[in-house]
Structure 1
Amino acid sequence: MKKIHKLLTVAAVAGSCLTVSAQALHSGYFLEGYSYRHQLNPAFAGERNYISIPALGNINIGTQGNIGVGTFLFPQNDQLTTFMHSSISGEEFLSGLKDNNRINANINLTLLSAGFHAWGGFNTVDINLRSNTSMNLPYDLFAFMKMGMTGNETHYHMENLGIESNNYVELAFGHSRKINDKLNVGGKLKFLLGGANLSMKMTEMDVTMAQDKWMVRANGEMNASLKGLMMPTKEESGRKLDNPSQRDLIDWDNIDVDSPGLGGFGMAIDLGATYKIMDDLTLSAALLDFGFISWNNTIKAATSNSAWEFDGFKNIAVDSELGDDDPNSLNSQLDAIGKDLEDYASFHRTENGVKRTAMLGATLNIGAEYAFPLYNKLHFGFLSSTRIKGKYSWSEGRISANVAPIKWFDAGVNYAISSFGSSFGWLLNFHPRGFNFFIGMDHLMGKVTPQFIPVKSGNMNVSLGFNVTFGDRK
């Protein structure tokens, strides 16, 4: 049990500290001089041709979550301690949690990007490194870890516990064009080269702790896809088996990767449109990343479907000459219970090296932009973004004020409310002839640690990029 607690504690704290996201800034959705608007809606055309500086065209680093590192770490005698320390009360720790504690990492690192006006519209070519990772940790998971048994009978229900990660390289070709004075449309075709995929979820996980019996029921499944990935069972590793049920348990100590490489292939599309209802009002919508990846080498595993029960210690040896080495001693029985529970909650390999197709998480953006009639260089905007991915779905609404006082500079400030809380954002965008430089944030940093890790909220974001532009402004 202690080993399980330690693993879960490390996973929670590390996830809240290290989640990194990089993508096109939502704060730039309504700024026409921002070169990467087409990543938010493929109907948007750049004002000039551009080519990115490799690795410098679009850098965006941040975190996203409804919990922060301060949820799990507490000051104690000028040092930090975890929530499991006896000096931290259960009420103090649990009051900072949500029903579902969520951490997301969405990386879109632009390796190379170019855009140019030709063939009756605006065309883009992108090579991106994508990594989308989501964690969902229910409240009762941490209540069980911290509180244990609190009465004659205690129940914990931990469904929706899971983690999912999708990692691939994306080659995207986009085209947008003007249909008439009111309507613009655009689309992208994406070829996806799979790197690694992981999906772990508990469809059911219940713990009942009573005076006469403890019972745990856990039904979960795991899919891991990576070229060269080897996840041997305990039997294949030659490990000693205490009972036949351990034969197909995954031996986590001997997992290895031999010559990683292309693990799958897939395709996706982006679709978008803008429509000018009147001179001062424009509506827009886009569906992004609608597609799939077919993975070649997938290892499937599942937990046991039968309940684990403990109805008390049997024949405890008190004055045995063997001491703690006696199989019936209290320590020996506690160790055996811990091993049984760890084996029960671990994954049994069911299939090895099979093919599996997984859908990407799609994103829906809907925007409305209003030009202030008394000063047409000032625009107000509203952007609704929804990520569609089952239990890992999220939504955000962002209102913004954007101004372009001169042709080569525009800026915006905005406020967002999302599934991860509220935040302020801003963007400064310089786009004279010859280059485009931008710097901004979707989420202003609040209180942070000396390592710039957000304490109270998991939301933090800093973005900048430099691109070479050429040709006349369109």
Structure 2
Amino acid sequence: MKKLLIILITLFGVMSNSYGQNKQILYGFDEIPQTLLLNPGAVTNYKYHVGIPLMSNISANVGITGVTLADVFRNDGVDFTTKYRNALNKLSENDYIQVNSQIEVLNGGYKLNERDYITAGFYTEMDAFATIPKDILSLINEGNASNVNRSFLLSQASVKAEFIGVLHFGISRTLNKKLTVGTRLKIYSGAVNVTSTGNTGSFTTRLGQNNIYSHYLNNINISGNSSGIYDENNESNLSAGTLLGRTFFGGNLGLGVDIGFTYKLNDQTEITASLLDLGFISYSQDVRNGTMIGDFVFSGIEFQYDATNPDYWGDIDNEFRQQVPRAENKESYTVARPIKFNSSIKHSWGKSRREENCHDISYNDYFDNAIGAQIFSVIRPNGPKFALTGFLEKRLFESIKGKVTYTIDDFSYSNLGVGLSAKLGKVNVFGMVDNLFKITDIADANQASFQVGVNLIFK
């Protein structure tokens, strides 16, 4: 049972896949139209673009702090119990799993005039975050007999996961030679949501009279909200067709906005910043919520049949329900989107011959090389998460540009990433991959991501 539980928890981390949406390779990669989704105030240098439907932007990220899959499941001759115990010892109360994936269905943009570039599109996104409840896993693994007087915190359990569709409209405006600003309106359609955050409570075992253990559940206040999982008959309702249908004005609607800017300190140096997903979703369809609030004390557990009290387990359950009452409702609830912040500084050099000789490039100066740094943050249920990235951009050939990044965050201090953008006539193809040092052994990586896309770009 214990082994099954840890497998299920680990599979949840893999299948629900969060990484925190830090797309540090794409951010500021101006040759790629999708950079406007990360900074609506990015500078554009083309007349219009059209994304290839369902192929213009596909990304997936997964991260887990503290341990890796290899720590628990690698076939290295060490028994599972030992590896599980060692993995628990490596964990802290701040470790977590986070996953994000996006599929862009439609995307396009058009340059209205010398100042304004408008964009619109639709994409689906799956985002999940879960803390790793070390105390609960330790209690399951070790039991309470060897942990008398130790309080196991139930508050370590926290989860927030959703699958949504996003319809968006944006505009980027060049105010002058130095400053470009932009904004994007988003209409969210929530297909599925599960949220359980801000829980409290602890479990403690103490030795009572006559060597009888007393068990205390203190300050229990656990709540959970869900939408799209159960229908009105409380039956699972998670078919692929139903979920995809809900992503486009499916009933659980919300609004959000992105803002951003690019400011040129001089011809070669610029700073950028953006705030993304300042918004919320109101869930009202197929809602099922639950709460447990109270305190409970009981002495010992009788595992053998007691002829004097044949309904021993039923009595404990009834007493627990009385002291820690559970309640369910179907009331609508609102969930804030995970707000994201990006900022960067970039210095470019090595003027491109293409700019000097090609008459159709007049919107922006071009350089063959650039170096810079970026900071990223996302708000999660247990606080903000940060990442710091250094990057180098270089034009490899006339139609191919590359970017190399080195990122430090909760997952790794040695995350090397690389991205390429190629222009073949009107076709723009890009690909990006993260954590190159672990690419041959993904099971031993704390984080991995990829991103690919195809667009048509018209100068």
TM-score category, normalised to shorter length = 0.7 to 0.9
Q: Determine which of 345, 356, 368 is the counterpart of 2:345.
A: 368
1:71-470 aligned at under 5 Å gives the runs 71-73=71-73, 75=75, 77=77, 82=80, 85=81, 87-88=82-83, 90=85, 92-119=86-113, 120-149=115-144, 150-201=146-197, 203-211=199-207, 212-217=213-218, 218-226=220-228, 229-230=231-232, 232=234, 255=236, 261=246, 262-297=250-285, 298-303=287-292, 305-313=293-301, 324=305, 326=307, 348-352=326-330, 354-372=331-349, 376-391=367-382, 393-422=384-413, 423-444=415-436, 446=438, 454-470=442-458
Identify which range, 108-117 or 158-167, moves more after superposition: 158-167
Give the Å deviation of 1:257.
Answer: 6.8
Deviates further, 292-301 or 184-193:
292-301
- Other structure's SS at 1:140 match: helix
Q: One-letter code of the match for 2:392? A: A
Q: Which residue of 1 aligns with 2:70?
A: 70
Paired residue type of 1:394: K
Q: 1:14 aligned to 11, 16, 41, which one?
A: 11
Other structure's SS at 2:425 match: coil
The residue identity in structure 2 corresponding to 1:104 is Q
Which deviates more, 157-166 or 278-287?
A: 157-166
* C-alpha distance in 1 between matches for 2:318 and 2:4: 17
Opposite residue 16 of structure 1, the aligned amino acid is: G
Which residue identity does 1:184 align to in structure 2? T
Cα root mean square deviation, aligned: 3.3
Which letter maps to 2:385?
Answer: W
Query: How many residues are treated as equivalent by the alignment?
Result: 425
Hey, what does 2:210 align to over in structure 1? none
- Post-superposition CA distance 1:163-195 (Å, at most 9, x none): 111222111111102111100011111111221
State whether residues 63 and 105 of structure 1, in contact with CA within 8 Å, keep that contact through their aligned partners in structure 2: yes
Deviates more, 1:144-153 or 1:195-204: 144-153
Using a 3 Å threshold, how does the CA distance of structure 1 residues 71 and 230 change in structure 2: closer, same or farther? farther
- AA aligned to 1:99 is E
Q: 3-state DSSP class of the match of 2:33?
A: coil
SS in 1 for 2:284: strand
- Unpaired runs of 5+ in structure 2? 208-212, 353-366
User: What TM-score results when the alignment is normalised by the length of structure 2?
Assistant: 0.82
Distance 1:292 1:379 in 2: 37
Cα distance, 1:381 vs structure 2: 1.6
- Aligned-pair CA distance for 1:6: 6.4
| TM-score w.r.t. length of structure 1 | 0.80
Residue 36 (str. 1) matches residue 34 (str. 2):
yes
Q: Could you tell me how far apart the structure 2 residues matched to 1:341 and 1:402 are?
A: 65
Q: Kindly state the Cα deviation for residue 59 of structure 1 after the two structures are TM-superposed.
A: 1.7
Q: Which amino acid aligns with 2:340?
A: T
Match of 1:27, SS?
coil
Aligned to 1:241: none
**Offset of residue 30 of structure 1:** 3.0
| Seq. identity, % | 19
TM-aligned CA deviation for residue 271 of structure 1: 0.5
Q: CA deviation at 1:160?
A: 3.6
Cα 1:346–1:440 change in 2 (3 A) is farther
- What displacement does 1:44 show? 1.4
Shift of 1:440: 1.5
Q: 1:441 to 1:56 in 2, by over 3 A?
A: same
Distance in 1, matches of 2:11 and 2:316, equals 24
Residues 456 and 96 of structure 1: is their aligned pair in 2 closer, same or farther, counting only changes over 3 Å? farther
Query: 2:136, 2:152 within 8 Å by CA — same for their partners in 1?
Result: yes
Which consecutive unaligned segments of at least 5 residues does structure 1 have?
233-253, 318-323
Distance change >3 Å, CA 395–CA 11, structure 1 → 2: farther
- The offset of 1:309, in angstroms, is 2.3
Q: Any conservation in 1 of the 2:13–2:98 contact (CA below 8 Å)?
A: no
Distance 1:257 1:405 in 2: 46
Shift of 1:327: 6.8
Measure how far apart 1:301 and its partner are: 1.0
1:416-448 CA-partner distances (Å, limit 9, x unpaired)? 011222311110110243110111113336176
- AA partner of residue 215 (structure 2): W
Counterpart residue number, 1:246: none
Name the SS for the 1:41 alignment partner. Answer: coil
Three-state SS of the structure 2 residue aligned to 1:37 is helix
**Which amino acid letter does the alignment assign opposite residue 435 of structure 1?**
V
Secondary structure at the aligned position of 2:382 is classed as helix
